[in-house]
Structure 1
Amino acid sequence: MDTLPAVRIVLVEPQGEINIGSVARVMKNMGLQQLWMVSPRCDPKGELAQRWAVHAEDVLQQANVTDSLEAALADCQRVFATVGRDVADLALPCWTPRQAAPQLLAVVQSALVFGREDRGLTNAELECAHGLVKIPTANTYPSLNLAQAVAVCCYELWLTACDSGETFPQGDAVPFERLQGFYDHLEQVLLQIGFLYPHTAASRMAKVRSLLGRAYPTEAEVALLRGMVRQVEWAIQHAAMISSETFPLK
Structure 2
Amino acid sequence: MFHVYILRCADGTYYTGHTDNLEARLAQHQAGTFPGYTHDRGPVELMWSESFPTRLEALDREQQIKDRSRKKKEALFRADWNGVSAAAGSRQRVSTALDARSNQTENSTVSPPPVIVLVRPQLGENIGKAARAMLNFGLVEMRLVSPRDGWPNPQAGPAASGADVVLEQAQVFDSVAEAVADCSHVFATTVRKRGVTKPVVTPEEAARTIRSDAGRAAILFGPERSGLETDDVALARTIVTVPINPEFGSLNLAQAVILVAYEWSKGADLASPPETELDPPAPQEELEGMIVQLDQMLEAGGYFFPPDRAPATRRTLRTLLTKPGWNSQEVRTLRGVLSTLARPRQR
Superposed pair shares fold, TM > 0.5: yes
The alignment's TM-score, normalised by the length of structure 2, stands at 0.45
List, as ranges, runs of 4+ consecutive aligned residues in structure 1 with deviation greater than 2 Å. Answer: 1-6, 43-47, 105-108, 160-163
Q: Is residue 15–residue 40 contact of structure 1 (8 Å, CA) maintained in 2?
A: yes
2: CA distance between counterparts of 1:116 and 1:59? 19
Q: Aligned residue for 2:4?
A: none
1: CA distance between counterparts of 2:134 and 2:201? 21
SS class of match (2:192): coil
Q: Is residue 78–residue 107 contact of structure 1 (8 Å, CA) maintained in 2?
A: no
Alpha-carbon distance, 1:162 to partner? 5.1
Deviation readout 1:35-55 (Å, 9 max, x if unpaired): 000000024432220001111
2: CA distance between counterparts of 1:145 and 1:41? 17
Higher helix share: 1
> Runs of 5+ in structure 1 lacking a partner?
164-250
SS class of match (1:81): strand
Q: Aligned residue for 2:124?
A: 17
Structure 1 position 98 matched with structure 2 position 215: no
- Number of residue pairs matched? 162
Instruction: Note the 1:29-68 alignment, pairs <5 A.
Output: 29-68=136-175
Q: Aligned residue for 2:246?
A: 139
User: Which amino acid counterpart does residue 198 of structure 2 have in structure 1?
Assistant: L
Larger-Rg structure: 2
1: CA distance between counterparts of 2:228 and 2:151? 19
Deviation readout 1:50-93 (Å, 9 max, x if unpaired): 00111111110110011111111021011110112123x31100
> Runs of 5+ in structure 2 lacking a partner?
1-94, 102-111, 271-347
Q: Is residue 84–residue 134 contact of structure 1 (8 Å, CA) maintained in 2?
A: yes
User: Which amino acid counterpart does residue 32 of structure 1 have in structure 2?
Assistant: L
Q: Is residue 81–residue 113 contact of structure 1 (8 Å, CA) maintained in 2?
A: yes
Alpha-carbon distance, 1:31 to partner? 0.6
User: Which amino acid counterpart does residue 83 of structure 1 have in structure 2?
Assistant: T
Deviation readout 1:133-160 (Å, 9 max, x if unpaired): 0122122311100111001110111014
The share of aligned pairs that are identical, in percent, is 40
Q: CA RMSD in A?
A: 1.7
SS class of match (2:204): helix
Deviation readout 1:100-149 (Å, 9 max, x if unpaired): 11112222311000111111112111111111001221223111001110
2: CA distance between counterparts of 1:147 and 1:24? 8
Q: Aligned residue for 2:192?
A: 85
Alpha-carbon distance, 1:32 to partner? 0.5
SS class of match (1:112): strand
The alignment's TM-score, normalised by the length of structure 1, stands at 0.61
Aligned with 2:265 (options 150, 158, 166): 158
SS class of match (2:193): coil
SS class of match (1:36): strand
SS class of match (1:107): coil
Aligned with 1:113 (options 205, 220, 227): 220
